[in-house]
Structure 1
Amino acid sequence: MPRLQTLPHRCPSVSIGGCFLLFSVLVPLSPACTPNAADDDEAGSETGDAIDAEHVSDGRERPAEEEITVPPNPIAPERYDCGAHDDPPPERTSPIAWSCLLDHTCRERFIIGHRGAGGDFGVVAPENSLAAFRAAILMATDYLETDPRVTTDGEVILFHDPEVDRVMEGTGTIEAMTFAQVRALSFQTDKYEGDFSCERIPTLREAIALCRDRAILMLDMNKTDDVEAVVAVIQEEDAVDQVIFDTSSLDKIDRALTLEPGLAIQIRPDTAADIAPQVEHYAPLIPTIVELEANILEEGAPIVHALPSRVTIDVFLSADLRAVFLGDLAAYAAWYDDGADMLMTERPYLAAIALGRL
């Protein structure tokens, strides 16, 4: 890999594609590592577009002869790919007490696997697949972010994009397809090490069964309006204590809590000034997690911690990039030191290595 010399001290507010374009100029990326531009519009609103580049680069000159060493994934693919498909779910490996995960007063250094073990920038397993969830559990991940959608015949499945073609072998729109049509599709697997030929788009029920008491499912409800279908599955699977209902829509949270008052919720205030009004809206319920953009972390984290609750941020365009392109695993700790309690990452195994879990 060509040497990465100097990065700008402060990266402007850009989309995922824009930030990777910056890095593709500085460090050539393979097509497999470059986010799909068509995914940018939908993903941009949820991935921390306002980037605090202090965490992307410190601006240091790096000697041309300096080697950049990035630890490989230490989990063998056969432990989570099709070779493990019929095995019992892996044991939980996170050192954090299970009781802490849904306790808004419990502050630790938590890891969230984005779409399981990584989305656009992931290299472990197809995003939002059961293999990705198995891998993330083995990587000592605490929470698994995933994307419920509902098929035309009412099945709640897990898939990020409205269209299937970026990730699957085939074409179509999820919400215009039956479950049988969705289930017939195979994942594109060329960029992954291991055998994922058996993997299919999973249902929420399957994910709950796999992850129960191993990792909390963080349900990104921005992809569907069918709150009722999702909450029904949670209740039918006796999984209220296994999930977090996460969305930027206060209306969706209101509807979900009307159906199931015991749900843990994550809110996404746009500014530090929005935190108090949104929290007051749900009083006496305190959100289990508050997601903040990086540019309001310094101001917003003390407000969240005083509730008390926990702060999550996305590190796709900051710590993940520093770890992969600069070999700087300390970038993860920097975010925790600055007030984040939970980091959502595309490379959960690197975050776990950085925290001494692997």
Structure 2
Amino acid sequence: MPDMQEYGIFPFRSTDAYFTRKAFEECGVITNGQNPWDPTIKDSRFYQRIKRHGSVGLGDSYMENWWECEDIAGMIKRLLAGDIRKHFEGFRIWCMYYLPQLINWSRWRPYEVANRHYSLGIKLYELMLDKRLVYSCGYWENATTLNEAQEAKLDLICRKLDLRNGQILLDIGCGWGSLMAYAAERYDAICVGLTVSKPQASYINTIAKRNNLRMIAHVGDWSHFSGGRYDAVASIGMFEHVGWRNYRKFFRIVSGILKPNGRFLLHTMGSAKTFHTGDPWVRKRIFPNSSLGSRCQIERANGNTFYMKDWHTFDQDYYPKTLRTWFNQFSANWDEIKKDGGYDDAFYRMWEFYLLSFAGAFEAEKILLWQILFSREQGHIEEVR
């Protein structure tokens, strides 16, 4: 006999509950089950919301405290590995996934993600990230701490670019200047950064002046950038905001500002399969207009623009380890973060779901992490790891 309180008292809710529970069970997730990855449902409206709104319903209902789960990453891993999306293909879900393809939002709204995400108070990022404020996956090959993993990643990038004293590096989507500062300090490079976030640019230029580093950040969108010629170009964790329609233009712009013997390193998350839009909840709450490209999409967009010298796929556990470390530090420092930003509990649950669901997506091998090295010239380049 089903629990009518859980299924709801109205027939349509009972149908929604049965459908959603069955879809979850086929993925190895039991609502109100005993495993750490089984969600405990606190509001019976959960089932209808999931059925009608897919990932948006799942993420938003967690923000609103409709359900709990001891192991969110484990739950998401199983739902994605079981291809949960195939169960939710009604018209509403179709609109959420496919209507964004009709408009090139990544091109027309490049500053929206800065206002929504990257311009949050810096205290949040200082208390969540490593000491250099690197907001991308660490390189854990020989590292035991987040600081070590992030410095190892920055050094790996500099070595792949073969940076030398006095060379000029352009960092497209430079964040808080972690790569720029590292390259200026350790490789004596001259660094130029491009960001859509005014607070990030201000932070970088303040650090440069205070520490007497040869680096400067500009506020601007990559699609309108044409200043100078560079010995090396890097883009770390920004390509996810470019949009597949704009990949070809992105490669051509980079080619136009890179010196003939220069190197370009693209560090990006990627999708194991080809899709043309990002997850609806992620686009709504975390990274507006974002999407992950597949290897096929990237190779096709590059065409004959660059010679592809190296395609380095990071170990699949590197990003989950980074994300969990970020969440642990975010959670441990929540009281200070909350006070500084005036955030509420829904904000905490949003970031918890964001960080741990991404960890689950990596563990399900639906998302990959790549470093791709390009050159404008033929010739052998030694593999660097």
Shared topology, TM-score over 0.5?
no
Output the TM-score relative to the length of structure 2. 0.28
**Higher percent of residues as helix:** 2
The structure whose Rg is larger is: 2
